[in-house]
Amino acid sequence: MDSNNLFYILLALALFGAPLAAALNNRPKISAAVAFGASAMASLVGLIIGADVLLNGPMRLDFPFSSPFGTFAFAVDGLSALFIIIISLVTFAVSIYSLGYVRHYYGKYPVGLMGSLFNIFYVSMIMVVSSSNAILFLIMWETMSLSSYFLVIFESREKGTVASGLFYLIMTHIGTAAITIGFILMYSESGSFEFSSFHGAALGMSDLLRSSVFALWLVGFGTKAGIIPFHTWLPMAHPAAPSNISSLMSAVMVKTAIYMLIRCYFGFLGVQDAWWGVIVLAVACVSALLGVMYALIESDIKRMLAFSTVENIGIILMALGVAMIFQSYGLKELAALALIAALMHVLSHALFKSLLFMGAGSVLYAAHTRNMEKLGGLAKRMPYTSLMFFIGVLSIAAIPPLTGFVSEWLIFQSMLQSFNIPDAIVKILIPVALGTLAITGALAAAAFLKAYGITFLARPRSEEAERAEEVPRTMLVGMGILSALCILAGVLSFMILPVMDDVTSPLVGVSIGEHLISGFLIVPTVGEFSQMSPLLIGVLLTSVFVGVLAITHLYGGRRKVVRADTWDCGTPLTSRTEYSGRGFSNPINRMFSWVYHPLRVFRSTSHISPYVKSDMRYTSTIEPVFERYFYEPMEVGVRWLARKVSVIQTGSIQTYLGYIFVVLILLLVVLR
């Protein structure tokens, strides 16, 4: 069966699943089964389509009717196929997870509605990455945004949900406007809205025009991807959304923006100017660094994950920027390498971020709070969840040989190659980016160490955490799939990278597949520069571990292990004596206070004598810089202007007639 029919089947599954689920809304159990069953099946079909395209070449599905904007069609080439696979993988796992997760919505919120929106959301993402016409793309893009918006405000009765949803909607709309203008500028050059006509159209453009298209797309797609300073909607929307949705949004939806950036820059514009790459690199560095720094001090686990998404998008864009720089200097092999690294990190981030969000969801499901400071000790109460979350943490902290490690290693390698760049300035800029990437990685490790340590280890810090118990099996299965993939995608990356090479070679114009992989080894560049094999590292680590275990047990004989209280300096062990999350991140907070603008308040009341404190309170908050200095002033300004203008509606008919009178006289005089 060829992939066109498969595509029909996919659409059919999701688009019949959606209304059916909505119809069954007041039978939550059944409608949940229907909805997520449909999406799971649809995503399986999506996987097949992707694989089929990667093996047997592209597919195209024309619309039965023509539109004023030219022909509409769904066309899937290598790049689209790769993203379809990523989207479908995650969606499949999340659908299974959702079966269990939505249980705590029964009777509270319309589960059927969520299910149908979920399907629409999935299909719209698939269509976004397979649209072949700018307008069709825009329609699908906004459908994706809208469906995700409705999913974000699903828990509409929670405080602040609707507001953050609205902010998300507005931000994404602004982004879409920028994208649209970019497309129309391309149209005015190529004379058609079809993507196929955009290829090489930029060659005829003036430098100014081409660069403004570049900038418009960077802003537009960047808003969706969450680059700083357009990132503010992420930490608002992701926590507000139900966890299964936030995992989809954060792991996959933002990637569609990356997809378009790659397609637009490498496909349509054809990277000519080196400074484009430099700009992308700079933006990426800022996003990565600030993103991880905000993530580190955040104690709302889902907000923290959202900020970490900003960081990872930054890392992906770093690789993309490096690729663009190489491409602009005609170093095609290296460009291919960097692009492959970017795609690899897209894959890894999709896997572990959705896993982590699902883990956070499970914690929420079991302990009813997102606040780390109220959690703790879950490792014993929900062992499987904690194990899977831990795998996610390991791979996002780039612990070898997991998937996060492989992609970061590749990015480092592509940066190390920067000495091939002829231009000295750019050559010196890239080591700075490398340093940024290094510190980002280390801070990310710290952040997730905190997240795992405070949430799952030691003693619970609240009643809910005390009473928490393991989540339903379906949720565990959903997470299990992804945690397995996190390991496999790392260890078996030597099988994945050639696929990435097939995807990138048409974009960059050269294939490095034949020397990228030799046996189990990944050889990023020609010659002896460096090589690495996650699989062998994995083997080595396990065997050495076994060895160490054995030797330790043999040497010194069998010794018994006593369980006892933690040493407590004589004070009773309560949750208050544990190290708090804020305490953990405090050193960073203080050392980088010029970034955080922290506001600390220490209040202590003492009634007997100044030495006996009856009550002590310490609050430490950081200033929301971007909201305060970027968004709020803008809104205030617009409102002020609007108020000034709206005095013209005085209510007195004489004034109204006066306007007409004046306009008449002005026009008569001016146009005489």
Contact range with another protein by CB under 8 A, out of 97-105, 133-141, 334-342, 507-515: 133-141
Q: What is the 3-state secondary structure (H, E, C) of 165-204?
A: HHHHHHHHHHHHHHHHHHHHHHHHHHCCCEHHHHCCHHHH
Place of tokens 């930054």: 314
Contacting another protein (CB under 8 A), which of 159, 565, 570, 603? 565
- Smallest gap from residue 358 Cβ to another protein (A): 21
Complex with another protein: residue 619 or 650, whichever CB lies closer: 650
Dist. CA 620–CA 599, nearest whole Å: 6
Dist. CA 130–CA 59, nearest whole Å: 10
Contact range with another protein by CB under 8 A, out of 45-53, 259-267, 435-443, 500-508: 435-443
Count, residues near another protein per rule CB under 8 A? 139
Site for another protein in 400-419 (CB under 8 A): 400, 405, 409, 412-413, 416, 419
Complex with another protein: residue 53 or 274, whichever CB lies closer: 274
208 binds another protein (CB under 8 A): no
616 binds another protein (CB under 8 A): no
Complex with another protein: residue 309 or 589, whichever CB lies closer: 589
Contacting another protein (CB under 8 A), which of 424, 601, 608, 612? 424
Site for another protein in 45-74 (CB under 8 A): 65-68, 72
- Smallest gap from residue 400 Cβ to another protein (A): 5
Contacting another protein (CB under 8 A), which of 261, 372, 454, 482? 454
- Smallest gap from residue 483 Cβ to another protein (A): 16
457 binds another protein (CB under 8 A): yes
153 binds another protein (CB under 8 A): yes
Site for another protein in 90-129 (CB under 8 A): none
Site for another protein in 262-281 (CB under 8 A): none
In DSSP terms, 60 is beta-bridged to: 75
- Smallest gap from residue 156 Cβ to another protein (A): 5
First to last CA, the chain: 72
669 binds another protein (CB under 8 A): yes
Contacting another protein (CB under 8 A), which of 12, 55, 432, 616? 432
Give the relative orientation of helices 111-130 and 28-56 as an angle to the nearest 10 degrees.
10
Contacting another protein (CB under 8 A), which of 1, 564, 601, 612? 564
CA distance readout (Å), 166 to 126, 201, 325, 329: 24, 36, 37, 43
Place of tokens 């688009």: 15
Dist. CA 418–CA 398, nearest whole Å: 22
- Smallest gap from residue 502 Cβ to another protein (A): 25
Contacting another protein (CB under 8 A), which of 12, 55, 616, 665? 665
Complex with another protein: residue 141 or 268, whichever CB lies closer: 141
Dist. CA 514–CA 573, nearest whole Å: 60
Query: Is 133 within 8 Å of 75 (Cβ atoms)?
Result: no
CA distance readout (Å), 107 to 103, 111, 245: 9, 8, 19
Neighbouring residues of 67: CB distance < 8 A, sequence distance ≥ 6: 135
- Type and span of the H or E element at 29: helix 28-56
Contacting another protein (CB under 8 A), which of 573, 595, 622, 625? 573
Dist. CA 39–CA 98, nearest whole Å: 11
- Smallest gap from residue 377 Cβ to another protein (A): 7
Contact range with another protein by CB under 8 A, out of 11-19, 197-205, 352-360, 452-460: 452-460
Task: Give the DSSP per-residue string, 67-132.
Answer: ETTEEEEEEE-HHHHHHHHHHHHHHHHHHHHHHHHGGGGTTTS-HHHHHHHHHHHHHHHHHHHHB-
Is the bond preceding residue 242 a cis peptide, omega within 30 degrees?
no
Site for another protein in 303-342 (CB under 8 A): none
Contact range with another protein by CB under 8 A, out of 198-206, 329-337, 485-493, 588-596: 588-596
Binding mask 71-90 for another protein (x = CB under 8 A): -x------------------
Contacting another protein (CB under 8 A), which of 135, 295, 471, 507? 135
Site for another protein in 503-532 (CB under 8 A): 521, 528-532
Query: Is 113 within 8 Å of 151 (Cβ atoms)?
Result: no
- Smallest gap from residue 533 Cβ to another protein (A): 5
Query: Cβ–Cβ contacts within 10 Å for residue 258, how many?
Result: 23
Complex with another protein: residue 99 or 253, whichever CB lies closer: 253
Q: What are phi and psi of 602, to 5 degrees?
A: -115, 115
389 binds another protein (CB under 8 A): no
Dist. CA 92–CA 629, nearest whole Å: 41
Residue 524: helix, strand or coil by DSSP?
coil
664 binds another protein (CB under 8 A): yes
Dist. CA 668–CA 492, nearest whole Å: 78
Query: Cβ–Cβ contacts within 10 Å for residue 541, how many?
Result: 13
CA distance readout (Å), 232 to 39, 285, 309, 395, 495: 30, 17, 12, 25, 37
555 binds another protein (CB under 8 A): yes
Complex with another protein: residue 590 or 597, whichever CB lies closer: 590
Binding mask 5-44 for another protein (x = CB under 8 A): ----------------------------------------
**H helices present in 592-651, as ranges:** 593-596, 625-626, 632-645
169 binds another protein (CB under 8 A): yes
- Smallest gap from residue 45 Cβ to another protein (A): 23
Contacting another protein (CB under 8 A), which of 37, 44, 427, 484? 427
